[in-house]
Amino acid sequence: MTVLLFGGNGQLGQELRRALAPLGEMVVTTRSGTLPDGSTCEVADFNAPASLTALLDRVRPDVVVNAAAYTAVDRAEDDRDAAWRANAEAPGVIARWCAAAGVPLVHYSTDYVFDGQGSRPYREEDATAPLGAYGGSKLDGEEAIRAAGGRHLIFRTAWVYASHSANFLRTMLRVGAERDVLRVVADQVGTPTPAALIADVTAQALQHPGGLSGTWHLTANGETSWHGFAEAIFAEAVAAGKLARAPKVEAITTAEYPTPARRPAYSGLDVTRLESDFGIALPSWQDGLKRVIAEL
């Protein structure tokens, strides 16, 4: 089969290039037409959604995987039009092409579609209520894909990180090596999820014989705060010999670290449906962290 991957240079896109390669021919796109290693690929500009149809017509893929997105949560508050073009309009264009061509579409959404007022992991059918522009644009993207009427696999995920690219883990390790004390928010709770895990599950889902269509929550198992995640990062990095010593991590509140965009206070996602439908046992977030630290 021919797999068309949008967003091949992001932290998830890089893992998808690895995980999906055994499925067939990979056609990878980025906005610039170049990959992190300097090699060239197809150009796909999500800031110009209408332009994507010509690429789809030319490639004629058997599967489309969309890992491209506007992910600058705070900047989206002042750049709402760009966030909606990339996160809602572009996925809608892709989904309508896929529906007309009978091609399955894999798309990734976010825990930010919820308001964070819950007290138990959110299920797929729970009411959505985004707090900001990023979550709102991602929710509209989900709805545009469903409205297109084709087969789709929407995976909502959260707190994504990897041993490469820009993310919380790499920021903590860099800053932790420079400072003796760090202050990290302790009243936002969610599930750190390796990009490699999302990519591997995607590959398994695409090979599942059931031809399933719908929305699933895809994170590691368990939950923690950003403060708890930071402490675990340092403990694991020291144990693995990747860091000489762990800095002290002081717990602070969200109010002490104001940002332009509001974040959900609680965004645990219930992964029971995914594990049941696809026969996949997801690891704990702690086991996921160990694997990523080992890759550094």
CA–CA dist 288, 296 (Å, integer): 13
3-state class percentages of the chain: helix first, strand second, coil last, to nearest 5: 40, 20, 40
Exactly one of 70, 108, 134, 266 is catalytic; name it: 134
CA distance 158 to 167: 12
Give the pairing of strands 63-66 and 181-185: unpaired
Cα gap 187→165, rounded to integer Å? 26
Reported as half-sphere exposure (CB side, CA atoms, 13 A), residue 4 has a value of 22
61: left (phi over 0), alpha (psi -120 to 50) or beta: beta
Token duo for residue 148: 């297109």
Task: Evaluate whether 108 touches 69 at the Cβ level (below 8 Å).
Answer: yes
Instruction: Give the count of beta carbons closer than 10 Å to the beta carbon of residue 222.
Output: 16
Q: How far is CA 87 from CA 90, 92, 107, 233, in A?
A: 6, 9, 10, 30
Distance between CA atoms of residues 89 and 137, nearest Å: 9
Reply yes or no on whether 161 is catalytic.
no
Q: Distance (Å, rounded) from C-alpha 273 to C-alpha 268?
A: 14
- Three-state secondary structure of 14-78: HHHHHHHHHHCEEEEEECCCECCCCCECEECCCCCHHHHHHHHHHHCCCEEEECCCCCCCCHHHC
Residues with a catalytic annotation lie at: 134
